[in-house]
């Protein structure tokens, strides 16, 4: 179809739907349609995979903007991500109005939204594509918490479709949520997912005299009927605790490894879904680690590791001259020798012997932001992380003296794209001043994606030649991350990771500092493979108990 053909067929349609005279023209260099006050520009057919059905949808959407959208709104003070989300909600609002006033347009719009949707993606573009389908298509299935929240909010405002301010407020909250989820947005690479939707330049006035969008924080009005949920408040608190500690520099990376993640809803492993990044402890924290070492020593004097005998399997020595019980096999041999007239062997007894199978034990420490919480009953500003560091160091020292090889690693997660992993003490290393400095430099930040960290820890411990290998998880709560809203999801993934480790011959057990942990920790580790410390002060005793159970079984 040539440019005149396009104009001849689409000009009347746009004029009829918009109620005003407009011209449709083609522009070969466009990625998406562009709407102005006088023209609708669409990409040329040789560069735009548009059928006539798509072109009709482009015209209907442009007409919806002309009829219902406020134009040239100032973007001053808005971040680029916020601008994109507000525009996406506005697209859905005006499309809904057009569908209400012209129901036949539904057959033009919904197929394009469904085709553009990435049903399982978590990138910004994928989330926008899922949002577009979910808000206009009631039959579109999507169990993502953020998408569902948007869908519920949009439905609550459906009787107020002409209230631009209410939808603008809803969009601002959703944009804020994406920021807390740390969904990355690249304005230079983003295009509206649905082919029929324009680039939304019609909606905005980007005044060149205004400061860069990132200069001002996103401000939220409280005037609409769209209410924040308790979960939003929890997310805000979590994000504030994260913001207290600066992120590690991206250059401080030792390695990157991709791992799968189990999705219990789909009953499949998402391949290469999580990235574990090995990092050294933050350099600025190491500068202050001398003080941390003295803190560890001070805390160690207050938290005693219960005294236990050297734990081992019982082993019996056969055919002994003396012992606590009769060796039945030797006794049978003596009776046979007597019947044959031979001199019997006098070694008739069993004597117990103590023998210890040496383990390679990896202590995997949760270093999420919640471990910065203070511990009551100890004083001195002691945090949960302080107790974790001290208890694991004490246990590592005691286990090493029993002949075991011990490592202390730690983790925290900043979404699935950055599960941070720290080697504080490796197998074969001495728990000397350098190791204690690394322990002291560990800082609590971000979240707790146990499954990915456990898979990486399994890879580490599998390098040990010792056939007796184990991982002991030390955590202060259930798995969580800011890009996951289903509380069951990460616990099920951690269980899958623990099961995979056991199939590889690695024992997995753990201790959690959470009086209400039984349901989720049993899901992850299974019956008999965990201890619960009601308080952080009880951690050393429970850690010792799980260690005793591990090496004696």
pLDDT tens sequence across 395-430: 888 888 888 899 999 999 988 989 999 999 999 888
Instruction: Please tell me the predicted confidence (pLDDT) of residue 260.
Output: 94
Q: What is the DSSP letter of 448?
A: B
Closest CA to 97 of 112, 113, 109: 109
Three-class DSSP category at 170: helix
Three-class DSSP category at 87: helix
Asked whether 58 and 33 are in contact (CB, 8 A), the reply is yes
Asked whether 148 and 174 are in contact (CB, 8 A), the reply is no
**Separation CA 152–CA 216 (nearest Å):** 29
Mean pLDDT of 52-64: 82
**Separation CA 51–CA 10 (nearest Å):** 13
Mean pLDDT of 520-536: 87
Instruction: Please tell me the predicted confidence (pLDDT) of residue 440.
Output: 84
Mean pLDDT of 218-223: 30
Instruction: Please tell me the predicted confidence (pLDDT) of residue 357.
Output: 67
Give 258's strand partners: 275
Three-class DSSP category at 321: coil
Range with lowest mean pLDDT among 23-32, 160-169, 188-197, 307-316: 307-316
Asked whether 193 and 125 are in contact (CB, 8 A), the reply is yes
274: tokens are 């999580």
Total Cβ atoms within 10 A of residue 390? 24
More confident residue, 548 or 410: 410
For the chain, what is the mean pLDDT? Answer: 78
Mean pLDDT of 494-517: 91
Mean pLDDT of 449-458: 95
Domain ranges within the chain, ordered by starting residue:
3-228, 279-303+358-552, 316-353
Cα distances (Å, whole numbers) of residue 66 to 33, 37, 90, 110, 471: 14, 8, 12, 20, 62
Q: For residue range 198-209, list pLDDT tens digits in order.
A: 888 888 887 655
Mean pLDDT of 39-53: 64
Instruction: Please tell me the predicted confidence (pLDDT) of residue 315.
Output: 55
Q: What is the DSSP letter of 372?
A: G
Q: Which CATH number fits domain 279-303+358-552: 3.40.50.410, 3.30.70.240, 2.160.10.10, 3.40.50.300?
A: 3.40.50.410
Instruction: Please tell me the predicted confidence (pLDDT) of residue 282.
Output: 58
Report CA 284 to chain centroid distance, whole Å.
Answer: 26
More confident residue, 134 or 230: 134
Residue 393 has pLDDT above 80, yes or no: yes
Instruction: Please tell me the predicted confidence (pLDDT) of residue 40.
Output: 81
Range with lowest mean pLDDT among 26-40, 119-133, 266-280: 26-40
Asked whether 358 and 468 are in contact (CB, 8 A), the reply is yes
Question: Residue 474: pLDDT band by 50, 70, 90 thresholds?
Answer: very high
Q: What pTM value is reported for the model?
A: 0.55
Give 320's strand partners: 349
Question: Residue 233: pLDDT band by 50, 70, 90 thresholds?
Answer: very low
Mean pLDDT of 216-230: 35
Instruction: Please tell me the predicted confidence (pLDDT) of residue 216.
Output: 33
Strand (E) or helix (H) holding 100? helix 80-101
Residue 5 has pLDDT above 70, yes or no: no
Range with lowest mean pLDDT among 33-47, 125-139, 368-382, 424-438: 33-47
Sheet containing strand 405-413, strands side by side: 255-263, 268-278, 419-425, 405-413, 360-366, 469-475, 506-512, 530-532
Query: Helix 3-18 crosses helix 52-68 at what angle (to 10 degrees)?
Result: 40
Instruction: Please tell me the predicted confidence (pLDDT) of residue 355.
Output: 55
Return the CA Rg of the chain. Answer: 32
133: tokens are 């389908």
Cα distances (Å, whole numbers) of residue 17 to 37, 39, 54: 15, 14, 16
Mean pLDDT of 279-299: 51
Question: Residue 356: pLDDT band by 50, 70, 90 thresholds?
Answer: low
Instruction: Please tell me the predicted confidence (pLDDT) of residue 459.
Output: 94
CA atoms within 13 A on the CB side of 89: 30
More confident residue, 346 or 312: 346
Question: Residue 470: pLDDT band by 50, 70, 90 thresholds?
Answer: very high
State percent of the chain over pLDDT 90: 19
Instruction: Please tell me the predicted confidence (pLDDT) of residue 495.
Output: 94
């Amino acid at each position: 179809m040539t440019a005149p053909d396009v104009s001849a067929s689409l000009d009347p349609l746009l004029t009829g739907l918009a109620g005003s005279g407009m011209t449709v023209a083609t522009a070969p260099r466009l990625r998406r349609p562009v709407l102005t006050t006088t023209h609708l520009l669409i990409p040329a057919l040789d560069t735009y995979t548009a059928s006539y059905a798509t072109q009709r949808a482009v015209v209907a959407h442009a007409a919806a903007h002309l009829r219902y959208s406020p134009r040239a709104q100032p973007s001053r003070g808005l971040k680029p991500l916020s601008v994109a989300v507000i525009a996406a909600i506005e697209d859905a609002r005006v499309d809904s109005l057009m569908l209400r006033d012209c129901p036949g347009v539904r057959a033009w719009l919904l197929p394009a939204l469904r085709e553009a949707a990435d049903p399982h993606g978590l990138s910004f573009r994928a989330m926008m594509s899922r949002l577009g389908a979910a808000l206009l298509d009631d039959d579109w299935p999507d169990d993502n918490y953020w998408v569902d929240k948007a869908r519920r909010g949009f439905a609550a405002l459906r009787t107020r479709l002409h209230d631009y301010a209410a939808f603008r407020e809803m969009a601002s909250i959703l944009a804020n949520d994406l920021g807390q989820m740390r969904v990355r947005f690249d304005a230079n690479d983003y295009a509206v997912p649905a082919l029929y939707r324009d680039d939304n330049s019609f909606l905005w006035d980007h005044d060149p005299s205004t400061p860069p969008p990132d200069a001002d924080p996103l401000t939220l009005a409280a005037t609409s009927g769209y209410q924040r949920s308790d979960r939003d408040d929890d997310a805000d608190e979590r994000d504030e605790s994260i913001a207290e500690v600066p992120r590690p520099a991206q250059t401080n990376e030792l390695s990157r490894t991709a791992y799968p993640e189990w999705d219990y809803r789909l009953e499949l492993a998402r391949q290469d879904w999580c990235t574990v990044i090995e990092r050294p402890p933050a350099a600025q924290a190491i500068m202050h680690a001398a003080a941390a070492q003295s803190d560890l020593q001070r805390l160690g004097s207050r938290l005693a590791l219960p005294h236990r005998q050297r734990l081992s399997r019982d082993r019996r020595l056969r055919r002994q001259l003396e012992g606590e019980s009769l060796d039945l096999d030797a006794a049978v041999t003596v009776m046979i020798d007597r019947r044959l007239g031979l001199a019997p062997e006098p070694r008739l007894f069993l004597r117990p012997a103590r023998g210890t199978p040496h383990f390679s034990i990896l202590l995997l420490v949760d270093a999420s932001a919640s471990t910065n919480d203070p511990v009551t009953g100890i004083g001195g500003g002691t945090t949960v992380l302080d107790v974790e560091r001290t208890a694991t160091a004490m246990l590592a020292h005691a286990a090493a003296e029993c002949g075991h090889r011990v490592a202390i690693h730690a983790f925290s997660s900043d979404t699935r794209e950055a599960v941070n992993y720290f080697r504080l003490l490796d197998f074969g290393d001495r728990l000397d001043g350098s190791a204690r400095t690394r322990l002291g430099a560990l800082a609590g930040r971000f979240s707790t994606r146990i499954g990915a960290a456990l898979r990486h820890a399994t890879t580490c411990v599998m390098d040990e030649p010792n056939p007796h290998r184990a991982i002991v998880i030390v955590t202060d709560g259930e798995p969580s991350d800011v890009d996951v809203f289903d509380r069951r999801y990460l616990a099920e993934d951690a269980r899958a990771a623990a099961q995979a480790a056991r199939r590889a011959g690695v024992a997995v057990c753990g201790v959690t500092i959470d009086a209400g942990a039984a349901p989720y920790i049993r899901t992850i580790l299974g019956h008999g493979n965990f201890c619960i410390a009601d308080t952080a002060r009880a951690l050393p005793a429970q850690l010792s108990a799980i260690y005793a159970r591990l090496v004696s079984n």
